[in-house]
A and B are shown apart, each in its own frame.
Chain A
């Protein structure tokens, strides 16, 4: 069977690294995302592999959909297969975490209590493993798909249970986790599909309903054909702040301004203005009817009002980043907050809390404050034209979107606001499209 020709776009952001794999026709085959950590090389390898894993699942889906006998079980089979695959992947990572923890416990400083520490680690390992099936059940809602987040939450839960201030304290266990998770995170492993698709397939079939089981030979063949299928990368373009670290020539590195412009154009062809709020910068981009950037502005001199602002506020309030928006949406009377300086906003937050104001009202005010800043950058770039597309991690935040909608209406009247559920991948999509164009011998459409 011939190799699958793909094009890759990698967006090395300050918070997360994303990858998109396209087929030769420019259709998205797979996506990958991971936390950027301090190692861009590892992060880019991980997302690349993840995009390839997803691409293989997509190919399995194509193969099943193409067969009339299999197509009716496509959704349930693929859903279960992916869940079992993720579980296998998670267990492999856990195994590496256990080994890293064991290794970290060999450090000299734990010598006096090594046996007790290892005993506790063993108990924690067991407890964590017992929680794994729950994370990957059909109805499970995971707060994060990053191994680091899931493993940390489980580890802390278990460490709290098993720690003992007199022998092995919670702090000691936390310190071990911090050291071990770095080891695990900074070692990329590839070939995940080859390793895990087999066991995942058998588990899926073993517990599947009869309508799937009776089609097992064909389903096995479909997965097997994809498992051994070769990928040929026709082109790869990198973008984002870490792009200089990507191991390819400068010609294959594009600025995220251009990538977000092109990515937004690909998602919504009518886009003329793009707002991207990422971890450390806010970009307002004007594009023409082909997705070509005509002007842009970014936040200047400081990163006030960027994604990290919300991250900081979430930390201050002891909330997850994803919880901020929905809490702010509960507001009935938004508090007016002027500061977009992250640190001052933290101070304002504490001050308002001490005055007895509701968390939701304060949060609504904070969301509005960052959008006011974005409006200023948009104005500087040339205003908001129809259609207007909002991208970046903050576009997932419902309170940020509401505040933006309100301000756009106030300042520019009715504008079509586009937000893709995959908006976090806009930069990577643009990069992949640049790779596609370069592979076709053209720089732009």
Chain B
């Protein structure tokens, strides 16, 4: 409902957002300078990324999913996808892949306009997404560079067993570390890695505090639309860095202040003043119409208090921390425990916990058209979750970065209908 936010003519940003923009800008600049600086570059995926390990070798990560989503938010993805389709990739292929391939074919100009270097290594950490293998198979053809494969066992049972950890650590020692040594020309330095993991823990603690701040009413954050900004540094190149620690410290302070003042999240149109519905969201957001998508929620007074997408790079809020005393083991546990590596029952358990712990009025699933790995079973999840929690679920469909699959009127209609359904249910529970 317009009138629930204090409208201002310019887009409102928190201090941490400005800091994050700076971090990301610097990161892309450092990638752009890699050919001159001599820094070696490793392409890898967000879920189960070994940011500290790469950093301990002075290697720079390139994250194709981040490039794709950044391109989506900057309205560059449509042309990249068209380019990939010209190369023969079908309409049904993951649009992150097509966006990445299209960017590559269009001169590898990154989302900030900086030319990205070719990777020296492809570090394929397989964590539940079947497409990752094919994606890097394509990149290997393009870049003709070595691949380090890290096979992370899928947690269909939902529990990390000691043999899982042993299996991953063994691969780190025999496959990943030797290749990183080869590419970087440095020896593996476990003490250095441990120091970085200690920094990770600091950032992780603050990050979890931020996520859990949504348990307050009113919530000081939107744990999905704001959350995707909050996960930026910790899911990407800044884990294990002082800059990452600083970002999460700033963010925590900012949110602590917001709680003290009783303020809601900052939306692009200002502080959200009225929170009528607390929602949990499953699935990634649509990036090409991100602001419009967010507006559909805050216009209805809906704030997202927990989301699973903000756990694809680690389930820190379920207690996981990197452990400087068990560096490789904790990296293995990190990879194993990412949300993307969980089976459907574990995903339902997690969502159920969020609905209860965050006292949600409802939950919404945004199913991604081109993502077979994660869209499968989402309707089943919806039914189970409704049965277990008694809280109604909503279902919408869009895509990651293909603007053709964001049908504005249809999605808005569904969200409005869903919210009105929540309202109707709420009124029936009220005493006469």
Contact = CB atoms under 8 A, between A and B. Distances in A.
Interface of A: 241, 250, 254-258, 281, 290, 292-298, 300-301, 380, 382, 442-444
Given A241-B409, A301-B407, A292 B417 contact: no
Contact of A258 (B386, B407, B409, B420): B420
Contact of A297 (B395, B407, B421, B424): B395
A443 B407 contact: no
Nearest to A254: B420
Interface string B375-413: 000010001001000001101010000000101011001
Interface centre among B397, B417, B425, B427 (most CB of A within 10 A): B417
B191 interface: no
B386 A295 contact: yes
A292 B405 contact: no
B428 interface: yes
B173 interface: no
Contacts of B416: 255
A444 B427 contact: yes
Interface in B1-52: 1
Contact of B424 (A256, A258, A300): A258
A254 B379 CA distance: 25
Nearest to A303: B410
Contacts of A294: 392, 421, 425
A152 B267 CA distance: 51
A382 B414 contact: no
B379 A443 contact: no
B423 interface: yes
A244 B244 CA distance: 44
Contacts of B420: 254-255, 257-258
A290 B397 CA distance: 29
B393 A380 contact: no
Given A294-B392, A295-B392, A380-B379, A258 B417 contact: yes
Contacts of A380: 379, 395
B395 A281 contact: no
B413 A255 contact: yes
Contact of B413 (A241, A290, A292, A443): A241
A385 to B, nearest CB: 14
A286 to B, nearest CB: 10
B258 interface: no
Contacts of B395: 297, 380
Given A254-B420, A255-B420, A294-B421, 4 more contacts: A258-B420, A295-B392, A298-B413, A444-B427
Interface in B366-381: 369, 379
Nearest to B398: A301
Contacts of B383: 382
Contacts of B409: 241
Contacts of A254: 420
Contacts of A256: 413, 417
Contacts of B379: 380
11 contacts: A255-B413, A290-B428, A292-B424, A293-B417, A294-B425, A301-B369, A301-B410, A443-B423, A443-B424, A444-B424, A444-B427
A301 B367 CA distance: 11
B410 A298 contact: yes
B375 to A, nearest CB: 11
Given A254-B420, A300-B397, A292 B425 contact: yes
A141 B286 CA distance: 51
B428 to A, nearest CB: 6
Nearest to B367: A300
Nearest to A283: B417
A296 B369 contact: no
A296 B423 CA distance: 15
Nearest to B432: A442
Contact of A281 (B1, B392, B393, B410): B410
B410 A293 contact: no
Q: What are the 9 tightest A-B residue pairs by CB atom distance, in nearest-first order?
A: A255-B417, A257-B417, A300-B397, A443-B427, A293-B421, A444-B427, A255-B420, A255-B416, A292-B424
Contacts of A300: 397, 410
B393 A295 contact: yes
A255 B409 CA distance: 12
A99 to B, nearest CB: 37
A293 B393 CA distance: 12
A281 B409 CA distance: 11
Interface string B149-184: 000000000000000000000000000000000000
A296 B1 contact: no
Contacts of B369: 301
Contacts of A442: 427
Contacts of B425: 292, 294
Given A255-B413, A300-B397, A380-B379, A293 B386 contact: no
A255 B423 CA distance: 12
A444 B424 CA distance: 7
A444 B386 contact: no
B417 A301 contact: no
A257 B428 contact: no
B421 A444 contact: no
Contacts of B421: 257-258, 292-294, 296
A171 B127 CA distance: 65
A292 to B, nearest CB: 5
Interface string B225-267: 0000000000000000000000000000000000000000000
A241 B412 CA distance: 10
Contacts of A301: 369, 397, 405, 407, 410
Contacts of B392: 294-295
Contacts of B407: 301
Contacts of A295: 386, 392-393
Contacts of B423: 443
Nearest to B425: A292
A293 B386 CA distance: 14
Nearest to A250: B1
A425 B113 CA distance: 54
A382 B1 CA distance: 30
B81 to A, nearest CB: 16
A300 B394 CA distance: 13
B389 to A, nearest CB: 13
B431 to A, nearest CB: 12
A281 B413 CA distance: 11
Contacts of A257: 417, 420-421
Contact of B414 (A241, A290, A298): A298
Nearest to A281: B410
Contact of B428 (A258, A281, A292, A297): A292
A407 to B, nearest CB: 20
